Amino acid sequence: MEKVIDNIHFKRIGYFNLYLIKGTTGDILIDTGFICMKKKLKRWLDKHNVKLIILTHAHIDHIWNVAYLKKLYNCEVAIFKDDLKNIDNSIINSKPLNNKCILWTKLLNKCMKTFVAKPFKVDYLLKDKEQINKYGINLKIHHLPGHTKGGIAISYDDCLFVGDALVNRFKVTPAYQNQNTKQALKSVEKIKKLKPRITFLGHDKEVPLEKLLNDLK
């Protein structure tokens, strides 16, 4: 089912959240999901007008369908410059957030090494604090290193898309596994300072500001 908040359309397929921001002359898709999602993605996105895909980070479960969607909709692709070299999924070296996450991290690292996304061309390399004004949509990029070197958040009005910088299971926390834990924790502080009305996550339910600040004290 497609859900809409303000001008943001989003759809959950399995364990993955996909977000689409509607513009006056085109739409911007945030992330593309994982394997076996193509048919459901196409049925959803055929109703819209995808002109640009922005990737929050280069992990395989966010970039798997880029090549397919780029060809299907003749759209452009943007990623933060520091994650460009990982679009072949060659950098899988995440460390656990804490001792409770050791087994989870080992399992994810092992699983992710078994997949390689089809190659695709990147049209734009994003920079920190960059403003994107396309299709009647105004966005701002925020570099959030930690989960990956080139992870980002994307501001749209008073909403924020953070990819996997946060999870919302029992409570909102940093991701359970990160390439650099110290940077990941600093990025969480950056998110809090932005004070988004709603924070949208890569895999879990969206988070209102009050819960965000309370859980991350």
- pLDDT, tens digit only, all 217 positions of the chain: 789 999 999 999 989 999 999 999 999 999 999 988 999 999 999 999 999 999 999 999 999 999 999 999 999 999 999 999 888 876 677 899 998 889 878 888 887 778 888 999 999 999 999 999 999 999 999 999 999 999 999 999 999 999 999 999 999 999 999 999 999 999 999 999 999 999 999 999 999 999 999 999 9
Q: What ranges do the domains of the chain cover?
A: 2-215
- Phi and psi at 99, nearest 5°, equal -65, -25
What pLDDT score was predicted for residue 180? 95
CA distance readout (Å), 79 to 56, 65, 110? 7, 14, 24
What pLDDT score was predicted for residue 103? 87
Q: Which residues of 4-25 are buried (b: 16+ CB within 10 A; e: fewer)?
A: eeeebbbbeeeebbbbbbbbee
What pLDDT score was predicted for residue 88? 81
Phi/psi-derived region of residue 99, left when phi > 0, alpha when psi is between -120 and 50, beta in every other case:
alpha
Q: What SS3 class is residue 169?
A: coil
What pLDDT score was predicted for residue 114? 81
Q: What SS3 class is residue 213?
A: helix
What pLDDT score was predicted for residue 107? 81
Give CA–CA dist 48/33, Å, rounded: 17
**Structural tokens at position 213:** 């600040």
What pLDDT score was predicted for residue 116? 84
Contact 127, 142 (CB under 8 A): no
Give CA–CA dist 54/27, Å, rounded: 11
Residue 34: alpha-carbon gap to chain centroid? 12
What pLDDT score was predicted for residue 90? 66
Q: Which amino acid is at 73?
A: Y
Positive or negative torsion for Cα 123, 38, 30, 136: positive
CATH class of 2-215: alpha beta
